[in-house]
Amino acid sequence: MEQREKFSSRLGFILLSAGCAIGLGNVWRFPYVVGKYGGAAFVLIYLLFLGILGLPIMAMELSVGRASQKSVITSFHVLEPKGTKWHIFGYIATLGNYLLMMFYTTISGWMLYYFVKMVKGDFVGKTTEEVGEMFGTLVQQPEVMVFWMIVVVAIGFLICSFGLQNGVEKITKVMMLSLLFILFVLVARAITLPNSAEGLHFYLKPDFHKMTEIGINEVVFAAMGQAFFTLSIGMGAIAIFGSYIDKDHRLIGEAMSITLLDTFVAVMAGLIIFPSTSAFGIPADSGPALIFITLPNVFNAMAGGRLWGSLFFLFMSFAAFSTVLAVFENIIASNLELFGTTRKKAAFINALVIMVLSVPCILGFNVWGHIMPLGEGSSILDLEDFLVSNNILPLGSLIYLAFCTSRYGWGWNHFLEEVNTGKGIQFPRWSRVYVSYILPVIVLYIFVQGYIAKFFA
Ligand code: PHE
């Protein structure tokens, strides 16, 4: 077995964990669910969940990772009391990581494809309909999507195979910093577009009436799913980074930095997309296709749009890649712990496995288009996303919560000692009742209500 690596710096750790959190969830998923669930009121609930649920759970994941020095697949083995069965969740969480990659790689591939098309100038002079049709044509061509998905998986595992410091950390640091820069430029452009006010209004001024129309329980369920998705919590993707740091800093502070960076990027992505939708008369509730069928139009109508567009899709690809790298890293680490193979071998085999597993999502848009697992108009992508975002992540978060607070698990005292080792803000002792009883009830309640609203109402 290879020796466990460490990050070379604290900045590396923060940027990498933030890179894992920041991804398609912020730039693709966040705008489209905000559009679908009615705008600012949804955003408000989502922000609330980030603070009251996301933050403490992220600190717990980091603690389990740091204390066990393992990835999710074996971390519970190390920390659980003898004879208990918490470790079973490690296998489910690992499967969750694969499940996420089964659709994430496809959408990341779309980003790369759109980046290349932007650079080539393929959108120049196209009408709104023609741009929409181009997305329609793309999803009708499984071979094109398979090609770009393979590019994403191959690059991802290649970088991971170089190891933590040489591969993942170096690349992600550069990608994250350029991403933050590009964001500022694009927001400045978007909010100064004519007619941007209406979109900003939709995005920033809550309309609770609209929320009741859609159904409060469904909206709240979706906001919780989005909060867990965007922070990457509930299946060990953040825990793995905890396992690569030393004990210099208390973990709630680190969780705050990651959450703030992630929230910042999501809020900025909204500030780019919603002003643009109203400026060019594009419906905000266009679904998963939102950024692909709207933004090229937006860039078309802008001076220097080809450059702005290329930068935008480059930034989207960066964001997606930093997440793909993090999850691949988690997958490779779990394979190393389980089978004791070499990093290179694990990377190679998993690349092949994920390429094959990603095919159903792609076929779901064309050859298997008749399969609508979640009702009329839904696709295999929707099912895979629903299983991860609305099931594995909230239930996994519950398990982390229970594990860190219950004496039948790792327990409150062990957790508190780990999370509070180092310098920085304390995880407060008084929060015990809140995290042990109130938080789990909130998550469970929303989960059950959401299911009822989604399937039985
Ligand atoms: N947070 C990532 C994003 O926003 C997605 C993710 C979810 C990654 C769960 C890992 C685990 O794109």
Per-residue tens of pLDDT for the chain, all 457 residues:
455 666 667 887 888 888 889 999 999 999 999 999 999 999 999 999 999 999 999 999 999 999 999 989 999 999 999 999 999 999 999 999 999 999 999 999 999 999 999 999 999 999 878 988 999 999 999 999 999 999 999 998 888 888 766 666 777 777 777 778 878 888 888 888 889 999 999 999 999 998 899 899 999 999 999 999 999 999 999 998 888 888 989 999 999 999 999 999 999 999 998 998 888 888 888 888 888 977 887 788 777 889 988 988 887 888 898 899 889 988 998 999 889 889 899 999 999 999 999 999 999 999 999 999 988 888 999 999 999 999 999 999 999 999 999 999 999 999 999 999 999 999 999 999 999 999 999 999 999 988 888 888 7
The alpha carbon of 255 and the centre of ligand 1 are apart by a number of angstroms equal to 15
Tell me if 401 sits within 8 A of 438, measured CB to CB.
Answer: no
Q: Is the CB of 237 under 6 A from ligand 1?
A: yes
Q: For residue 379, give both structure tokens.
A: 């696709």
Nearest to 261 by CA among 54, 427, 29: 54
Residue nearest to atom 10 of ligand 1 (CA): 232
DSSP assigned state of 71: -
Give per-residue pLDDT as tens, 328-358.
Answer: 988 998 999 889 889 899 999 999 999 999 9
What ligand 1 atom has the least distance to the C-alpha of 24?
Answer: 12
Q: Ligand 1 centre from 82 Cα, in Å?
A: 32
Q: Would you call 427 helix, strand, or coil by DSSP?
A: coil
Asked whether residue 162 is domain-assigned, the answer is yes
- Ligand 1 centroid–CA 25 distance in Å is 6
Q: How far is the CA of 396 from the centre of ligand 1 (A)?
A: 14
Q: Say what the pTM is.
A: 0.93
Question: How far apart are the CA of 19 and the centre of ligand 1, in A?
Answer: 9
d(Cα 451, Cα 445) in Å, to the nearest integer?
10
Q: What is the rounded distance in angstroms from the CA atom of residue 237 to the CA atom of residue 246?
A: 18
**Counting atoms of ligand 1 from 1, which one is nearest the CA of 393?**
9
Q: Is residue 4 situated within a structural domain?
A: no
Calpha distance 304→297 (Å, rounded) = 13
Task: Decide: 160 and 293 in contact? Cβ < 8 Å.
Answer: no
CB 207 within 8 A of CB 38: yes
Say how far apart CA 324 and CA 345 lie, in whole Å: 18
Please check whether residue 51 lies inside any domain of the structure: yes
Which residue in 277, 260, 258 sits closest to 47, CA to CA? Answer: 260
Q: 225 lies in which domain range?
A: 10-456
Amino acid identity at 130: E
Residue 284 lies in a domain: yes
| pLDDT at site 265 | 92
Q: Which of 230, 238, 261, 318 most suits a substitution to test ligand 1, by most atoms within 8 Å of the C-beta?
A: 230
State how far the Cα of 301 lies from the Cα of 451, in Å rounded to an integer: 42
Count of structural domains, the chain: 1
3-state secondary structure at position 282: coil
List CB contacts of 82: < 8 A, sequence separation 6 or more: none
pLDDT score for 295? 80
Within a domain: residue 97?
Answer: yes
- DSSP E strands: which ranges in 255-393? none
CA-to-CA distance for 302 and 235, rounded, in angstroms? 41
Q: What is the pLDDT of residue 99?
A: 97
Burial 71-102 (b: 16+ CB within 10 A, else e): bbbbbbeebbeeeeebbebbebbbebbbbbbb
- Comparing CA positions, the residue from 246, 305, 254, 310 lying closest to residue 56 is 254
Q: Which DSSP state fits 22?
A: S
At residue 17, the pLDDT reads 86
pLDDT for 1: 43
CA distance 148 to 110: 7
pLDDT of residue 69: 92
Q: What's 400's domain CATH number? A: 1.10.4160.10
CB atoms near residue 348 (< 10 Å):
15
Residue 1 lies in a domain: no
